[in-house]
Structure 1
Amino acid sequence: MKKTVGMAAVAALALSLAACGERAEDSPQAEEIDFKACMVSDSGGFDDKSFNQTSLAGLTAAEDDLGVQTATIESASDAEYADNLQSLVDEGCNQITTVGFLLGDATREAADANPDVDFAIVDFEFTDPETFEPNPPDNAKGLTFDTGQPSFLAGYVAAGTSESGTVGTFGGLNIPTVTIFMTGFLQGVEYYNEENDADVKVIGWDGKDGSFTEDFEDQAKGQQVAEQMIQQGADVIFPVAGPAGLGGLKAAQDAEAWGIWVDTDGCVSAAEYCDTLLTSVVKGMDVAVEQAIEDSVNDEFTNEVYRGTLENDGVGLADLGEDVPSEVADKVEELRQMIIDGEIQVG
C-alpha cells in the first residue's frame, strides 16, 4: 500500500498533468480576455514527462481558468532561445514564461529589450555574476524551487530501502538546478547512515563531481549510465536528466532495481515505470507558472523571486511505493517537519 508524504500540491500536479489538453465537463472554460500568455521550452521539449511538461500545464491552466490567449514555441536546441523569445514578442505576447536554467541569459536580454512585456523563468534566479546578489530586471521574475529539501527525503528513502547498500544518481548537465537534487539526495543518504549506523554508498555524485549525460534528450545515454551504476551494485537509481533520465528508469526496470523520478510524479507522467518507482521529487511548477500569469493579468506582477519549499508546498515527495519499509516512511514524515522547522539544513 502506498503512503502519501505530505504535499498538497502533488494532487493538484497529478490532476493538471492528467488533464493537460482536456477539461472536465463541469469546469467551464473562462471567457477569453485580451491578454496573451506565451511559453518557450528548453531543448527537452514539452513532452519530456518532466519540467517542461509540468510548466506547460500551468499555461494550459491559465488559459482555462483565466481566459488568456496562449502561444508556445518548442526549442530544438540551445541556440534557438533568443530567436524563439523574439518570435513571441513579435506575436504580441503580454507575458512570456521560459522554462529552464539554460534560458537565463536569453530571458534577461529579452526582458531588458521589452520593458512592456512581463517575463517569468522556471528554475532560474537573476543574480549579479560577481556578487551573486539578486538583480532581476523590473519585468522579470524567477520561479525557483528548493528541490534539495525533498531530494534529502528521497535519499533517506533510497538508503532505507536499498538491499545492496549502494545507490546511484546522475544528472543531465552539471548546473545548479540539477546538482541541487543530487546534493540533497547525497545528504539524505548520509543522514540515514548516521542515524542507523549504516554504510550505504552513493555513486554518481560526491558533492562536487559526478556522472552526467551532458544533455537532457538522449535516453540511450541515460540508460547506459544507469546500467553502469547497476553493474557497480546500485539497486536504486535517481536520474536528474529530463527525458534522458527516462533511460535510467528503463535500466532500473530491466534490472528489477528501483528508480526515483524528478520534477513530476512519475506514476502520472511516466506511468510505464510506476512499478519501478519508490517515489518522485516533485515541483509545483504548474502552480507557480499560472500564478505568475495571473499576477500579470491583474497588474500585480513583481520581480520578486518565488521560491518553492516544503513549507509552502512548492516542492515535495509523491506517494511512497509499497516497497519502502513502513519505519522509513514514518521517519520521512518526521524528517520533513524537521527540515521545515530548520532542525535539518539541506544544501
Structure 2
Amino acid sequence: MSTVLGAGFSALSLVALSACSMSTPEPVEEETLGCMISAPAGFDDHSAGALTLAETELARSAGLFSATSSQRVTNSSATSAALTRMKDQDCALTTVLGPGGADELSDHAKSNPDDVFLGVASGHEDFPDNVLSIDFDLVPPAFIAGYIAATASETGEVGALVSQGFPQAKKILNAFDAGVALYNDEADEDVENVKSYRESAVDDRTVADTSDEGRKFFESAYGSDVDVLVPFGSAAAMGVATASTEEMAAQRTQEPKEEGAEEKALPKVIWYGASGAFSDTIIATIEPNIRRGLRSMFVEWPQSRNPDEVAEASKDEPADMGGFLITDKHYKGTIDNGGVGISAEDGFLSRVSDAGRSITDLRERIKSGDIDPEKS
C-alpha cells in the first residue's frame, strides 16, 4: 500500500490575470516528491521507519518536498517493484529503509544514475555514487544495554535478539554479552551472576524479521525466566514489544495469587528506535538520531534549536545532487558524535536510582577508551 500527501495549493505560485491582461503567467514550480520504501514493519514500527517518515513530513511542511509518497513492502521482489513505481512517479529523492532492500536499491540506483537515493540503516557499504546513506554504530549501545539489562533483571536472566540481515548482528550480540559480563564483574560479591540467554550463540538469537518470530522468541525466552529483552530488528522487534506488553497487561489484570505464591517478574524491554513511551514494558531506549544525520547531509533540511539535533558544520563545500545541496554523502551515527543516544525511561529511573548515572558512566568510559565493547 502506498500513500501520497500533497503540499497543497498554497505551495504553488499562481498569478492572478485580469480580463484585459496580456502578461504571461509565472511557471508553476516543479514538483519535488519525497518517496520512501520501508520493510517489513512499515512506518508504524516505532523505530527507523517512523522516525524517517516524521522527518520527511517535516521537510515537506518546510517546502523541501512538494509531496511525499510512502510504501511498505514485504520482500526483495516487492522492493524492486516499489522502486520501479517510485521511478514512474519521478521522485526527487527515494529512501529505502533497513537492510532488506539494500541490494535492490543498489541495483536500481546503478540503472538510474541521474536519480538520487537514500539508504537508511541498511549496513550496506558499496552503494553507487548516487546513493546517500545513514547508518549507526550500535555496538557500544548494545554493550551498555547488556549492562543495564543485567542491572534491571529480577530473575538473573536477560537476552538479546537480532533479525536476519540486521547490520553488525554478531558484534551486537557479543557486545551485549560483554555488557552483562562487566556487570557481573563489578557487582558485589554476594550478588548472583546474571546470565545472558543463549550466550555466545548467534544463530539461536537470530530470527526472521516477522512479528510472529519475534513473538515466539519472547515466549521462549520469558518461559525460561528471561525478564529483560533487547530486540534489534523491525517486525521481529515489534513482535517482542507487542508480546511483552500483552503479558504485562495479563499479569496486571489476573486474580491475586494466594499468600506466599511466587509472583512472576514482569517483562521488560530495552528498545531500539523512537522513544519507548508506546509500551510500559520499555525501561530504556537506544535511539538512532536520524534527524541529525539528515541535517548533516542536506543543507536545506529544516534545522532545530535542540543542540543534540544540530549538525556539525561540514568542511566540504555543498554539491548539487538532483537539485539538493549535499555536504556529506554518508553519515555514520555513533555515541561519540551524538548520532546514537541511550537513555532510561522515567519509570525505570524511579525504580533503579542509579540507572541514569550508570548509562552516563559507561558512555564516558567507552568514549575515553577505558572500555572497548568489541574486545571486552
Same fold (TM over 0.5): yes
**Which one of 114, 119, 135 corresponds to residue 116 of structure 1?**
114
- Counterpart of 1:210? 204
SS of 1:84's equivalent in the other structure is helix
Question: C-alpha separation between the residues in 1 aligned to 2:289 and 2:348?
Answer: 25
Matched, 1:334 2:357: no
Question: C-alpha separation between the residues in 2 aligned to 1:242 and 1:124?
Answer: 12
Matched, 1:228 2:220: yes
- Counterpart of 2:325? 300
Partners of 2:137 and 2:332 within 8 A in 1: yes
Matched, 1:64 2:61: yes
By relative contact order (CA 8 Å, sep 6+), the higher-ranking structure is: 1
Q: What is the 5 A alignment of 1:134-283?
A: 135-173=126-164, 175-196=166-187, 199-206=193-200, 208-215=202-209, 217-218=210-211, 220-253=212-245, 254=247, 256-267=266-277, 271=278, 273=279, 275-283=280-288
TM-score normalized with structure 2 length: 0.73
Question: C-alpha separation between the residues in 2 aligned to 1:74 and 1:340?
Answer: 37
- Counterpart of 2:17? none
SS of 1:300's equivalent in the other structure is strand
Q: Deviations over 1:205-235 (max 9, x none)?
A: 52633323312x32x4322221221221211
- Structure 1 window deviating more from structure 2 (84-93 vs 181-190): it is 181-190
Residue 99 (structure 1) shift? 0.4
Q: Deviations over 1:157-211 (max 9, x none)?
A: 1111212111012222253354554333222212212222662111145263332
Question: C-alpha separation between the residues in 2 aligned to 1:318 and 1:29?
Answer: 39
Question: C-alpha separation between the residues in 1 aligned to 2:12 and 2:98?
Answer: 28
- Counterpart of 1:8? none
Residue 76 (structure 1) shift? 3.2
Partners of 1:167 and 1:201 within 8 A in 2: yes
Alignment size in residue pairs: 308
Partners of 2:343 and 2:356 within 8 A in 1: no
Q: Deviations over 1:116-169 (max 9, x none)?
A: 111110113443xxxxxxx43211122110122222222111111212111012
Matched, 1:94 2:88: no
- Counterpart of 2:340? 315
Residue 68 (structure 1) shift? 0.9
In the alignment, structure 1 segments of 5+ residues that lack a partner are 1-20, 22-27, 128-134
TM-score normalized with structure 1 length: 0.78
Partners of 1:58 and 1:287 within 8 A in 2: no
Partners of 1:239 and 1:248 within 8 A in 2: yes
**Which one of 46, 50, 55 corresponds to residue 47 of structure 2?**
50
Higher helix proportion: 1
SS of 2:119's equivalent in the other structure is strand
**Cα separation, partners in 2 of 1:33 and 1:67, compared to 1, 3 Å:** farther
- Counterpart of 1:78? 76
Q: Deviations over 1:52-78 (max 9, x none)?
A: 122211211211224312222221333
SS of 2:91's equivalent in the other structure is coil
